[in-house]
Amino acid sequence: MGGSGGGGSSGGDGAALRRAVDEELRRQELTAELNAVLAELLAGLNDRDAGLVRDRLDQVQEALGDDAIDVDRLLFGGSVAKHTYVDGLSDVDALVVVDAPSASPADLVERFARALRSRLPMGEVESVEPGRLAVTVTYADGTQLQLLPAVERDGRTSIASEDGDQWRRIRPHKFAEKLTAANRANGDAVVPAIKLAKSAIAGLPEAHRLSGYHVEAIAVDAFRNYDGRRDRASVLHHLVDHAARAVLRPTGDITGQSVHVDDHLGAAGSARRREVSASLARLAARLRAASSAQEYRRIFDHGGGTPPAS
């Protein structure tokens, strides 16, 4: 009987092992399917004519560079420089630095909009819309440029604060360097994850969306000492998970350009931070719980989103 009992135990162990192997195979198959979905999404997000963008930015600089607005230089300090651009979702395509230190952010946004409406080739342009921080130029082919006015004040470049009411100093190239370093340290997996996170977050209620710059700042922190898997899905899930926790406290601006990048959300643990955190946590849970490629794809199928900078 002892031998019979041992045989039964061995058979049970074998069945358990087979179930474990089957479950691992199903997990690997699902992971492969999810990563295929993300690769397809990234291909669409990356489908952008860089040459056309530069030509249009040249047009913008020419349109703004007259007596009304003295353009010092046009800096690729936004998502173009950081390669985190997501069509219709990125926070800033370009900083346009002008010599108008006494102007308010709102004044420059309006002046930009007036100049662009009157001088850009409107046969190619569908709309020029001023927002709180930036001017969004939408072209007839559906592409967009977002232009953030900046000024030189006391030898430092300044852009509008989050509420658009005052100026704050920045170091436009420093953040790109930080993000590039984090990306390289993690096998070039961080920038794709940021693009995908921006796309997923754009489906949240508007009040719960993080700005593109906020997502990028959180990503630098999230991957500072990351030692997890580096496939697309794992990296994306880690970023959204981290964002849900990180947003509960103010996110320090790693470039030193301001105290925090998200002062508008209030103090640590504020009601608004808890709301945003809960929304991000639900998104993270949906990503992790997806049991098919179709279910996963639906998380991103929300028709884009409102550009965060506007």
The tens-digit pLDDT sequence of the chain (310 residues) is 455 555 555 667 888 888 888 888 888 899 999 999 999 988 877 765 667 777 888 899 899 887 667 676 666 555 555 555 554 445 456 778 888 888 899 999 999 999 999 999 988 999 999 988 889 898 988 777 888 888 887 777 888 876 778 888 777 667 778 888 899 999 999 989 998 999 899 899 988 988 777 888 899 999 999 999 999 999 999 999 999 999 999 886 555 445 566 777 888 999 999 999 999 999 999 999 999 999 999 999 875 443 343 3
Both 212 and 256 in a single domain? yes
Both 206 and 281 in a single domain? yes
Distance in angstroms (rounded) separating the CA atoms of residues 71 and 151: 9
Show which of 145, 172, 199 is a domain's final residue.
172
The tally of domains found in the chain comes to: 2
Show which of 172, 206, 230 is a domain's final residue.
172
Contact at 8 Å (CB) between 39 and 232? yes
Supply the pTM of this predicted model: 0.69
Both 160 and 191 in a single domain? no
Both 79 and 104 in a single domain? yes
Distance in angstroms (rounded) separating the CA atoms of residues 205 and 251: 21
Both 110 and 164 in a single domain? yes
CATH code for position 127: 3.30.460.90
Report which of 304, 41, 73, 48 is spatially closest to residue 192, judged by C-alpha positions: 41
| Domain extent at residue 123 | 50-172
Distance in angstroms (rounded) separating the CA atoms of residues 133 and 264: 14
Distance in angstroms (rounded) separating the CA atoms of residues 153 and 102: 9
Query: In terms of DSSP bridges, do strands 144-153 and 94-98 run parallel, antiparallel, or are they unpaired?
Result: parallel
